[in-house]
Structure 1
């Protein structure tokens, strides 16, 4: 080190903090995520606006670009917003302003645009230098009374100006115009609604605070999209209002016309919300050209400024009903996924209809209270001045004499205060009074104004002192807005009258699905298997091909959609009834006829899609001990060729998948009898292409055998079954929670007698088990028949095996009290 560089002192060292880089990265990412959530992507429940929209409207308010002014160049508005309040790129600001001006995006546009602001065909808007805009009249209702201390203000990005934290919002804009956005780890998708319906529901909540969601739905029929169309059924809407989440089917408005020449045509006049019309027409044309849809002779888009009109001309012998159903299946119906997520006190929350309106009312009460207090202070100040002037008029001659006798204005003020006990403000006004104000007419006007001010003060004090009066003011103002801006509903409801499908013709029943290593698959009714005593041999469950062996068995319902995960980290979607039903002794059908599997690709885990909601995750574990969680919503759209579920290192394989909800523990078990339990949050949520994090530290050549999602440790035991047919039940409470990536605790003793662990399951006392051997023997036993013992024991004989046969897999059959999630446990190869 150079002699010119001073040695660090103790003071310098004391200023250095030591931190783990992963902790610092984690905290930094959390800070970033919260900044995106609160400062960019999610709307505030109070005014229904994201920061960029709020800043655009406030910038227009400050510049006087109101509905009564002339239109202003969009570039000017964007520049003011960017320079004063929103220090980001001009493009996202302009994009946000454009959307507020599009009548096909906003149910009640907040910006009155002039020029090309895009189209329902996906045409982009003109550059901001060519378009002009101003506030729409209804937008001014969001800003009404903002100058009366109704909301809090904060410094802008450079501390030069003040901007509102939220707008006063005289109507519930979040529900009226809806919102959509993607944050970090969460998203929101709130549909627009009819203004009159939402205000009626708000009034209902004011008059009846105990109103239920069902009561509010007497007023709010459902979303009201700006593009009209039809909502299919009511159940999904009710679920969305009661839970904050739902999947609403929206169908185009169309009619089938019979023509004199015998051919029919389908005329489409309204499209589902956020449908790109031009792209949809193009896709229909492509489907006709490649033969996916038959019977269409011509396709024309005759839309104009008056509305949408797409004409589908059918061939002479085409069946209109068939073509219509084909169009509905692929093009004319969309699903709107409702996620009513908004910021409440700066924190993201999924809200029901009632919670959303309740938070809005709380905000509005605060606004009206602060406005009333602000006006009361002004009126009291004015009354004080008027009292002084009335006193001066009452003693006008003496006041004039005092002022005339004074040497200057200050002496006059002092003499008046000594004579009549005026305040400083009162005496300032008195000495500035003109002689003309001493006339009897002027005096009468002051007395009338004083009486009006006193009456207003009394009214404001009543509002501030009585919440019922305050709520009455809110109700009156809401109804006034309804009278001004309410319009007819655009979106209608139609009953869900789906055509009969193959699924309707298949009996709904629980089945056992058997899969072999060489991917032969079949299903058999669960009812074929009666419960036996522990230690039996079972019965023949399949004629296994020489060199093949059973790899897994699982229970499902014939109408279930299954996600089939493979050892290579791919996932496929399959309907249970598509698996051929065969007898117990049948070999099965090659899975390659059902799924597009590659060479060497084997199904290792199956999850029933009926088991999870959008907010839940799929937790995965690999043979080498890596664990990761991925949002279940990422598996909504799965191609016939499959999609990637997890990225695997060379030589690693996907072993098990469980559905988790963010509040469960994961228990990973190994083939050599070790186990580790940790909070699922320790494996952070990742995308489908991620590898995951280390869940357990494996010793030697040990590998993962399976995983259990621990939901209720007091009601369930951990069932462990080994390849030689031994097993045990142990209370889950004996497996203490640790940090992930540890070596864990001993679960079961393995060795020559037991063999390696094949399967782990969470079981209840009334559950039944389906156990299948590699050679095709299958038996059903009661979980309670397997001894309950502690950890680090050998267990008891569960299934009698012959020769070199071994246990392949175990699955749980629901107890008589209700369904349990389908879980698949595969044999470790």
Structure 2
């Protein structure tokens, strides 16, 4: 039995502050995420997983002319040799490289179900097959000619490229996105022809400004097309700083129908918007009455996208309908631009358009020089061997004699003709039939061609001007091979602040809003002549009856001091019992409804609490944009009354009544307010506003309204105690 002695005391213990230990370890994790997972390299535009997929497929000889292989085979090779992570993440990356709606220039030729723009996933990797596309071959060209550095794989059993040669600016051509620790990247796709033209301008004019480059590259070119409406100034700033965004809209056209009608057909959706989810969202807008101009939506897509929108009425302008939908749905998106990349040294940083293109050109020059050096080495070696063959042909008989008669022909050849060991070995390995007279001419021609090539290569490596010229020629050839018309239209900037709110397009129709005691709300067309004929759920009854229009905003005042806003056009029809108001607003279960109004711009409300405090609130300041409403009163709300007169009358729990002028109350948006009436105990029971010329009214115990001719006897200053009111006075409404 082996006895393991423990290490010396402290041998496994590191004595350091916890903060330092955590900081160092978290920093190591953050740097690993940034450099090995989330940010692309500015030179080839790849993250490690994509680069490893490309190289593994290259090693498997899955070129465009070869037969496709199972994706499972490729994923297994990538995972086992280069990328020690889950097969799902590798396959997801491979699938994205093959999707023509995700990549502007797909790098994988996928065969089988690789998903679609509706959002359906690709089939399992055991069913699909893949190989490289011609664009991917351009990115790999020269990788076997020492064009780039290699490093050991994770298990030191093989080697992988640090970066690919990159025959075109893939970073900007296909874009990239990723989230690291403390930083992110988001680069849109561009047209490779425009990018190469911009590179050629930089070769011709290195001091060219970003503005000059932006004339050639006016904006992104997304694989799904669309219309970019960001504007030249905003795009120029994004290309200057490396940060910004581009607003992208769906492409649409108006199709006339019979009898003066029309329909709108959407042929291109914004980038990364799933068509299926977009149609679901549009249908939900119709169901929730949030798109008042849209009547119906249907999908008539086959191979091409065709989403048909029917307007609510033929009188609605197509432009108005689309502007409202651009604001309400993903028919318009804002694609962020954050060109955060790793430079040639692996350092993360945000680069502008010119910096990215210049980094690509610098990489191409490095690749060119390394390939030239690799070729020079091999040409010189071949010329050396040809020199030996030329000596053979000049002394063919003697060489044959030495080979036949000498015991050590290699040593004799070296000594007799001054050959190198390499030349001697090559001569001895050469077949006799290759030494025929006809081969002599071929050797001379080959020697002449290689000597000329060597001179050109050495001239190229010693002249930066020739190197840049060669790079330009290679880029022009690449442009011809990858020519592709622009898909995204660059349009004039659209001022979103000038858009008319969708509510402005709601047909103005008279309605009556019905809110029951239990909180069920609905709207019926026209005026309710006899409220007693209204039907409610068993045990429920009428709470509020408010006339208005479909274009109105309803103000709902709750007992917890909040005021909510509900669009009248969003209410359920009056055929049934409606729907619970609590589904439309975030109203607490313990809170009740105190008042319901159709908002009148410029109007004012008297807000009063049960404790006897209150103030005047402008209705315009009470409108809320969120379901949670707006907190108006600090306390329990007793009443919210529209101010239609110049006097306020209050009655307390002690039955004392006070009348004072409304001008004594402050006007404020929210708060506790000032004291309305003083009480030794108890609080406020009811409050009302009336016009001094007409006088107030009150309701007796029998529900009859009574005049109050001597109301001035109760007139006083705000916050007074008041006096006992007329016999039977309990409330004013």
State TM-score, norm by structure 1: 0.60
Change (3 A) 1:388 1:315: same
Q: Could you tell me which residue of structure 2 aligns to residue 155 of structure 1?
A: 152
Q: Could you tell me which residue of structure 1 aligns to residue 405 of structure 2?
A: 405
Give the deviation of 1:313 after TM superposition: 1.5
Give the deviation of 1:402 after TM superposition: 2.6
The reply to whether residue 73 of structure 1 matches residue 96 of structure 2 is no
Name the CA distance, whole Å, in 1 between partners of 2:337 and 2:167: 24
Superposed CA deviations along residues 388-437 of structure 1, whole A, max 9, x for unmatched, are 11012112222223333312xxx111111112211100111122233333
The reply to whether residue 382 of structure 1 matches residue 379 of structure 2 is no
Name the CA distance, whole Å, in 2 between partners of 1:502 and 1:252: 17
Name the CA distance, whole Å, in 1 between partners of 2:497 and 2:150: 59
Q: Could you tell me which residue of structure 2 aligns to residue 237 of structure 1?
A: 235
The reply to whether residue 192 of structure 1 matches residue 192 of structure 2 is no
Residue 272 of structure 1, aligned match among 252, 270, 273: 270
Name the CA distance, whole Å, in 2 between partners of 1:322 and 1:401: 97
The reply to whether residue 293 of structure 1 matches residue 291 of structure 2 is yes
Q: Could you tell me which residue of structure 2 aligns to residue 34 of structure 1?
A: 31
Alignment of structure 1 residues 91-102 onto 2, 5 Å: 91-102=88-99
Change (3 A) 1:476 1:580: farther
The reply to whether residue 175 of structure 1 matches residue 176 of structure 2 is no
Superposed CA deviations along residues 317-349 of structure 1, whole A, max 9, x for unmatched, are 441343222111122211011011111121111
Residue 426 of structure 1, aligned match among 401, 423, 426: 423
Superposed CA deviations along residues 689-746 of structure 1, whole A, max 9, x for unmatched, are xxxxxxxxxxxxxxxxxxxxxxxxxxxxxxxxxxxxxxxxxxxxxxxxxxxxxxxxxx
Matched residue of 2:196: which SS? helix
Name the CA distance, whole Å, in 2 between partners of 1:587 and 1:147: 81
Residue 22 of structure 1, aligned match among 19, 22, 44: 19
Q: Could you tell me which residue of structure 2 aligns to residue 311 of structure 1?
A: 308
Give the deviation of 1:589 after TM superposition: 5.5
Q: Could you tell me which residue of structure 1 aligns to residue 206 of structure 2?
A: 209
Change (3 A) 1:51 1:7: closer
Contact 1:115/1:130 (<8 A) preserved: yes
Alignment of structure 1 residues 405-804 onto 2, 5 Å: 405-407=405-407, 411-498=408-495, 501=498, 593-594=623-624, 596=628
Change (3 A) 1:295 1:387: same
Name the CA distance, whole Å, in 1 between partners of 2:55 and 2:391: 44
Alignment of structure 1 residues 243-262 onto 2, 5 Å: 243-262=241-260
CA RMSD in angstroms comes to 2.8
Matched residue of 1:218: which SS? helix
Change (3 A) 1:183 1:436: same
Q: Could you tell me which residue of structure 1 aligns to residue 340 of structure 2?
A: 341
Matched residue of 2:371: which SS? helix
Give the deviation of 1:503 after TM superposition: 10
Name the CA distance, whole Å, in 1 between partners of 2:622 and 2:100: 49
Contact 1:264/1:315 (<8 A) preserved: no
Change (3 A) 1:587 1:205: farther
Change (3 A) 1:210 1:401: same
Q: Could you tell me which residue of structure 2 aligns to residue 628 of structure 1?
A: none
Give the deviation of 1:79 after TM superposition: 0.8
Give the deviation of 1:126 after TM superposition: 0.9
Give the deviation of 1:95 after TM superposition: 0.5
Superposed CA deviations along residues 473-503 of structure 1, whole A, max 9, x for unmatched, are 2111111111111110000012234477489
Contact 1:36/1:183 (<8 A) preserved: yes
Give the deviation of 1:362 after TM superposition: 1.2
Name the CA distance, whole Å, in 2 between partners of 1:375 and 1:499: 58
Matched residue of 1:312: which SS? strand
Residue 102 of structure 2, aligned match among 101, 105, 116: 105
Name the CA distance, whole Å, in 1 between partners of 2:495 and 2:208: 34
Give the deviation of 1:69 after TM superposition: 0.9
Name the CA distance, whole Å, in 2 between partners of 1:587 and 1:394: 116
Name the CA distance, whole Å, in 1 between partners of 2:372 and 2:6: 64
Name the CA distance, whole Å, in 2 between partners of 1:188 and 1:196: 23
Give the deviation of 1:13 after TM superposition: 4.4
Matched residue of 1:265: which SS? strand
Contact 1:180/1:188 (<8 A) preserved: yes
Name the CA distance, whole Å, in 2 between partners of 1:221 and 1:297: 37
Contact 1:263/1:314 (<8 A) preserved: no
Give the deviation of 1:236 after TM superposition: 2.1
Change (3 A) 1:423 1:318: same
Residue 111 of structure 2, aligned match among 98, 111, 114: 114
Change (3 A) 1:451 1:498: same
Contact 2:622/2:632 (<8 A) preserved: no
Contact 1:47/1:174 (<8 A) preserved: yes
Of residues 344-353 and 313-322 in structure 1, the stretch that sits farther from structure 2 once superposed is 313-322
The reply to whether residue 391 of structure 1 matches residue 411 of structure 2 is no
Contact 2:265/2:307 (<8 A) preserved: yes
Contact 2:323/2:499 (<8 A) preserved: no
The reply to whether residue 135 of structure 1 matches residue 128 of structure 2 is no
Q: Could you tell me which residue of structure 2 aligns to residue 323 of structure 1?
A: 321
Name the CA distance, whole Å, in 2 between partners of 1:601 and 1:350: 48
Matched residue of 2:146: which SS? coil
Name the CA distance, whole Å, in 2 between partners of 1:356 and 1:285: 42
Gaps of at least 5 residues in structure 1 are: 505-578, 603-774, 776-829
Change (3 A) 1:601 1:236: farther
Name the CA distance, whole Å, in 1 between partners of 2:194 and 2:427: 53
Name the CA distance, whole Å, in 1 between partners of 2:411 and 2:618: 108
Name the CA distance, whole Å, in 1 between partners of 2:190 and 2:447: 45
Change (3 A) 1:342 1:593: same
Q: Could you tell me which residue of structure 2 aligns to residue 302 of structure 1?
A: 300
Q: Alignment length, in residue pairs? A: 519
Name the CA distance, whole Å, in 1 between partners of 2:245 and 2:495: 17
Gaps of at least 5 residues in structure 2 are: 502-600, 605-614, 635-672, 674-733
Contact 2:286/2:296 (<8 A) preserved: no
Matched residue of 2:335: which SS? strand
Name the CA distance, whole Å, in 1 between partners of 2:205 and 2:49: 35
Give the deviation of 1:187 after TM superposition: 0.8
